[in-house]
Amino acid sequence: MDPIHIDGLTFAYGEGELRRPVLRDVGLRVHGGEVVLLTGPSGSGKTTLLTLIGALRGMQEGSCRVLGHELLGSPEWERVVLRRSIGFIFQNHNLLGFLTARQNVAMSLELDSTIPEAERLERAGAMLAAVGLAGHADKPPSKLSGGQRQRVAIARALVGHPGLVLADEPTAALDKVTGGEVAHLLRDIAKSRGTPILMVTHDPRILDIADRIVTMEDGRIVDSVPA
């Protein structure tokens, strides 16, 4: 089964007279190992769709199957289980300032109590080396550049071998060269592991990392083309 399989997904914010539909009859598949970029005008519903797929928001109508879990009507415990299988990367990295890069990455392995702390830190160090930060593992985020912080966020999202990566504008705060490097790095690591990526982006400079580009307008998917 595809890691993401959505049919007839409709979603609205607000209730009664204030109810505002933002997603209308969305259907989307993301295949194993595929890198899909989700693009479209501001307000077209991209982030809302990503948060529904990531089980960060409750479904209202339609079917949304992610890594084998149907999210319509799913209980919170199942959504928690699913979220642990997803690597999330956001625009503002969300690293904890009082921890080192290595500790930030290791933290995402803490949910698995079978991994001893020494191994968590070792795996975090290896993952930081894989994103080119071997010499920076013991620095706090404040001592790193924007691009380096986003690499830490990539390491944190991937260290637990997630079944899916969801990224929301991961390069928006970076300059052109750094944004391109970070996007390619994420793509290369995910491809080498066969991990699918769904990434919301406005950034035309990184469209070349995609296998497929999906365009949304006014809550609907209007285009889905191989890159």
Ligand X SMILES: Nc1ncnc2c1ncn2[C@@H]1O[C@H](COP(=O)(O)OP(=O)(O)OP(=O)(O)O)[C@@H](O)[C@H]1O
Q: Which residues sit at the interface with ligand X, rule CB under 6 A?
A: 13, 22, 40, 42-48
Residue 147 to residue 144: CA distance in whole angstroms:
8
What single letter denotes the amino acid at residue 171?
T
Tell me the closest approach of the beta carbon of residue 62 to ligand X, in angstroms.
16
Tell me the closest approach of the beta carbon of residue 103 to ligand X, in angstroms.
30
Tell me the closest approach of the beta carbon of residue 6 to ligand X, in angstroms.
15
Considering the complex, state which of residue 21 and residue 180 has its C-beta at the smaller distance from ligand X. 21
Considering the complex, state which of residue 130 and residue 221 has its C-beta at the smaller distance from ligand X. 221
Core vs surface per residue 171-202: b (16+ CB within 10 A) or e: beebeeebbbbbbebbbebbbeeebbbbbbbe
Tell me the closest approach of the beta carbon of residue 163 to ligand X, in angstroms.
23
Considering the complex, state which of residue 193 and residue 202 has its C-beta at the smaller distance from ligand X. 202
Q: Angle between the 146-158 and 117-130 helix axes, to the nearest 10 degrees?
A: 130
Considering the complex, state which of residue 34 and residue 168 has its C-beta at the smaller distance from ligand X. 168
Token look-up 């307000």 returns 43
Q: How many other C-beta atoms can be found within 10 angstroms of the C-beta atom of residue 24?
A: 16
